[in-house]
């Protein structure tokens, strides 16, 4: 057996930028205080101490005494050493699809991919972002198609969701594998977790990314929408399409230019350049296909096999997608590179 003095710690922890400070102080100084934090909460998923969200900012109350200085947060943060991704990314197929079994934001292909992966035995659970009556987000571990009878599970919530801290629980309890759905920042966080921790590498089997221009803090968007006349008790759907935000209620609709939301755009979204979630196994969005369909960018073999299964079973109608329709939003986000502080 090696003598204690010969023993070396083999985990590669990134170098501290502030050498004599705790790792959380490094994360705070390089990411949070520079306003480039995306609030993906990858750090919170692995922090053994107490990284959380306080007043819409990632924080660690009492970190001076509670931070264990393990370095896990900076190992997994996609923005500690920020290499912005952009463009359409590589893909095997670019298609349009509409599930015949489920209703969703567009063609419910996200739900179809996750449920089909469960049927195929690739995963035993998928993490979905649901919502409560006031439209705050909640995470659900969907384990069978029957749970999808909960009407709030499908559809887009333009509010941050704590998906990644929940992923930690999912990988601990899964017996076959986990499927996860998320915005591009969440997808990048999952890839970092997979690079750094074997448990996530082995157990997260399917990553479905969503196209995303921006997301919002609940307090900001709910205040804004209330001032616009949205009654949350009647709200059934929110949508951003052709430059307009549309809030559909049971008896009316509120519509306004999405540009009006500029004032509440979170700082982490201002520096995000990834519209299509280039690191996912499959990305799904609205733009790029006909109304009622989801655009599906199939990137990895696992997603291709699930699409083949959906086709064989006749679970969805398929059509052609048009990648050129994504150009405007891809370029719009790429231009945000200039906002990244040097």
Ligand X SMILES: Cc1cc2nc3c(=O)[nH]c(=O)nc-3n(C[C@H](O)[C@H](O)[C@H](O)COP(=O)(O)OP(=O)(O)OC[C@H]3O[C@@H](n4cnc5c(N)ncnc54)[C@H](O)[C@@H]3O)c2cc1C
The helix/strand/coil state of 235 is strand
In 129-209, alpha helices (H): 163-173, 184-196, 198-203
Residue 108 is a binding residue for ligand X (CB under 6 A): yes
Residue 286 is a binding residue for ligand X (CB under 6 A): yes
Distance, CA of 206 to CA of 228 (rounded, Å):
38
Q: How many residues bind ligand X (CB under 6 A)?
A: 34
The helix/strand/coil state of 81 is coil
Rule CB under 6 A: choose which of 73, 212, 269, 277 binds ligand X: 212
The helix/strand/coil state of 239 is strand
CA 17, distance to chain mean position in Å, is: 28
Restricted to residues 297-336, the positions that interact with ligand X (CB under 6 A) are: 329
Which C-beta is closer to ligand X: that of 26 or that of 215?
Answer: 215
Residue 155 is a binding residue for ligand X (CB under 6 A): yes
Residue 53 is a binding residue for ligand X (CB under 6 A): no
Shortest Å, Cβ 333 to ligand X: 9
Please choose, from the candidates 124, 35, 19, 130, the residue with its C-alpha nearest in 3D space to the C-alpha of residue 79: 35
Residue 210 is a binding residue for ligand X (CB under 6 A): yes
Residue 154 is a binding residue for ligand X (CB under 6 A): yes
CA distances from 301 to 103, 285, 304 (A): 26, 19, 5
Shortest Å, Cβ 13 to ligand X: 29
Shortest Å, Cβ 20 to ligand X: 37
Return the range that interacts with ligand X (CB under 6 A); candidates 54-62, 73-81, 103-111, 301-309: 103-111
Would you state the structure tokens that stand for residue 128, as one six-digit string?
């979905």
What are the phi and psi torsion angles at 266 (to 5°)? -65, 145
Strand order in the sheet with 244-249: 235-241, 244-249, 253-257
Residue 105 is a binding residue for ligand X (CB under 6 A): yes
Residue 128 is a binding residue for ligand X (CB under 6 A): yes
- DSSP code for 14: P
Rule CB under 6 A: choose which of 183, 194, 273, 283 binds ligand X: 183
Residue 156 is a binding residue for ligand X (CB under 6 A): yes
Residue 107 is a binding residue for ligand X (CB under 6 A): yes
The helix/strand/coil state of 62 is coil
Q: Which residues in this chain contact ligand X in the complex, by CB under 6 A?
A: 104-111, 128-129, 137, 154-159, 161, 163, 181-183, 210-213, 215, 240, 284-287, 294, 329
């Amino acid at each position: 057996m090696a003598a204690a003095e010969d023993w070396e710690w083999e985990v590669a922890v990134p170098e501290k930028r502030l050498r004599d400070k705790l790792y959380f102080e490094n994360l705070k100084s390089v990411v949070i205080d520079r306003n480039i934090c995306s609030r993906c909460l990858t750090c919170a998923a692995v922090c053994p101490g107490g990284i959380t969200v306080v007043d819409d900012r990632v924080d660690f109350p009492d970190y001076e005494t509670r931070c264990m200085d393990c370095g896990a947060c900076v190992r997994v943060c996609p923005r500690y050493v920020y290499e912005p991704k952009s463009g359409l990314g590589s893909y095997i197929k670019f298609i349009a699809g509409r599930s015949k079994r489920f209703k969703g934001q567009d063609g419910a292909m996200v739900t179809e991919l996750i449920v089909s992966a469960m049927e195929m035995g690739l995963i035993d659970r998928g993490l979905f972002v649901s919502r409560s009556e006031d439209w705050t987000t909640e995470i659900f571990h969907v384990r069978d198609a029957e749970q999808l009878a909960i009407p709030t599970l499908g559809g887009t919530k333009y509010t941050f969701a704590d998906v990644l801290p929940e992923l930690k629980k999912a990988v601990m309890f899964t017996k076959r594998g986990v499927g996860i759905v998320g915005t591009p920042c969440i997808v990048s966080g999952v890839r970092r977790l997979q690079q750094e921790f074997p448990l996530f590498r082995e157990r997260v089997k399917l990553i479905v990314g969503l196209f995303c221009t921006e997301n919002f803090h609940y307090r900001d968007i709910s205040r804004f929408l209330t001032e616009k006349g949205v009654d949350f008790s009647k709200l059934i759907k929110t949508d951003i399409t052709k430059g307009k935000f549309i809030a559909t209620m049971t008896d009316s609709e509120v519509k306004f230019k999405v540009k009006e939301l500029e004032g509440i755009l979170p700082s982490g979204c201002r520096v995000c350049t990834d519209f299509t979630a280039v690191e996912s196994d499959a990305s799904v969005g609205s733009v790029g296909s006909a109304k009622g369909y989801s655009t599906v960018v199939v990137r990895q073999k696992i997603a291709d096999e699930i699409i083949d299964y959906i086709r064989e079973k006749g679970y969805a109608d398929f059509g052609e997608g048009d990648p050129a329709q994504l150009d405007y939003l891809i370029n719009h986000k790429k231009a945000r590179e200039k906002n990244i502080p040097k």
